Amino acid sequence: MQHFSELNLCPALRKNLDKNGFVKPTPVQAQAIPPLMEDRDVVATAQTGTGKTLAFSIPLLEKLAALPREKTVRVLILTPTRELAIQIDEAFRELAEGMHIRTAVVVGGMREGNQLKDIKDGAEVVIATPGRLCDYLDRRLVDLSKATTVVLDEADRMLDMGFLPSLRTIFDKVPLKRQTMLFSATMEQSVAGLVASYVHNPVRIAVEACAQTASQIDLFGFEVAQGSKFDLLEYLLKHQKGSFLVFVATKEGADRLTKFLERGKHKVASIHGDRTQAQRNESLQGFKDGLYRVLVATDVAARGIHVDDIAHVVNYDLPQEPENFIHRVGRTGRAGSKGASWTFVTPFERLTVRKYERTHGFQMKFRELPPLPRAIGLVTDVSAFLASMSSGQPASPATKAAAPATRKSTSDRRRH
């Protein structure tokens, strides 16, 4: 499939594709949509930013369009985070405009009354996180007995978050005869077990994300002392155009960095686990609308932010999980646009970055550090520091003063 126009779609769906500028499918869309429209089960391995939402939304909407409208749940879409659930719902509604197909979002951190009203009013599509959905099932507030299509989006992330017991409970409530779509960034043993248990004779699709990342995103790195990271970020904000999504390791670090940027008169917002859903929605919407140039986030947002035209992703801190590196940088370079990622690497983290390169098959381009104010109270001569530690010789006064600050920074990352 080279163009969406090749698909035999209902007029309303075809009109909405044209209206939203969807002409040529991405690789995962081209490979997944045809078998899905034949009611086949599909297991697709594809990274974030490859167009998975559209890949499963088009077949779902075409199937629903052929059925009479009923006040019953026919499609269940499961996601790991509420941000992703909300954004899938938004994308689904845009594509379903004028088709009179109702949706309901079932997630934690939002008003229960509104969610239950959407279900009671006849939602045919439920987009949910497993934990909250299981709560509703336990209280008999939702009926999945006629949900003949189940979508697992970011399956590996759901398993990482401990949702396997919830997924088992949910699958016990849906019909045995159903279509199952599973999308995952990785195909680890746990995901393979999920496929073996709940997916029937699937069409398997694997989309290589690293080649796409290399072609659409410039991967830059700086070796920088921990205490100079903020000055380096200020330098990039001054010399680069466009929006910035900045990833940090901890919630406390996100709040600190946001305050520092606000003092520098930058338009900035933040997203992390301690912020309410209303605050997170406001931050994300403001970033989308251009009200904020900078969005500071922890990895809770790495798979939940779907914003076109993010110019720069900054890894202010390295991710705790190596696979999150690709999820982070995949927030830029979307929809055919070029993007740039900037990774701040302390001298102690070079080996970690080399592991990322080997794991994901890319090579980071390290740039010379621009002139920055001198870092105070931090290790700058790493080789001298390590030599003094191993030889037992006293370090210089500057190095001695630096050591506690360096240890504190490391412990900060562990507390996240």
Classify domain 4-207 at the CATH topology level: Rossmann fold (3.40.50)
Q: Got the DSSP string for 244-281? A: EEEE-S-HHHHHHHHHHHHHTT--EEEE-TTS-HHHHH
Classify domain 210-374 at the CATH topology level: Rossmann fold (3.40.50)
Q: What is the pLDDT along the chain (416 residues), one digit of tens a residue?
A: 888 989 999 999 999 999 988 888 888 999 999 999 999 999 998 876 678 899 999 999 999 999 998 899 999 999 998 888 998 999 999 999 999 999 999 998 888 999 999 999 999 999 999 999 999 999 999 999 999 999 999 898 898 888 999 999 999 999 999 999 999 877 778 888 999 999 999 999 988 655 455 557 889 999 999 999 999 999 999 999 999 999 999 999 999 999 999 999 999 999 987 887 788 888 988 998 999 999 999 987 556 666 778 899 999 999 887 777 877 887 787 656 678 999 999 999 988 998 888 777 788 899 999 998 876 544 444 444 444 444 455 444 434 433 434 334 433 444 44
Q: Domains of the chain: which residue ranges?
A: 4-207, 210-374, 376-407
Residue 323 phi/psi, 5-degree rounding, is -65, -20
Cβ–Cβ under 8 Å, residues 195 and 164: no
* Secondary structure element (H or E) that encloses residue 103, with its range: strand 103-106
pTM score: 0.67
Euclidean distance between CA atoms 245 and 228, whole angstroms: 19
Q: How many CB atoms lie within 10 A of CB 413?
A: 14
How far, CA to CA in Å, does 288 sit from each of 107, 302, 324? 22, 15, 22
Same fold, 4-207 and 210-374: yes
List all residues 6 or more positions away from 320 whose beta carbon is below 8 Å from its beta carbon.
249, 299, 413, 416
List all residues 6 or more positions away from 39 whose beta carbon is below 8 Å from its beta carbon.
63, 179
Q: Are strands 75-78 and 312-315 parallel, antiparallel or unpaired?
A: unpaired
Helix (H, G, I), strand (E, B) or coil at 310: coil
At 294, list the tokens.
């900078």
Give the orientation angle of helix 164-171 with respect to helix 130-138, to 10 degrees: 50
How far, CA to CA in Å, does 67 sit from each of 8, 13, 60, 121, 139? 16, 14, 11, 18, 29
Question: ∠ at Cα 10 (4, 16), nearest 5°?
Answer: 60
Cβ–Cβ under 8 Å, residues 183 and 205: no
Tokens 């010399």 found at: 239
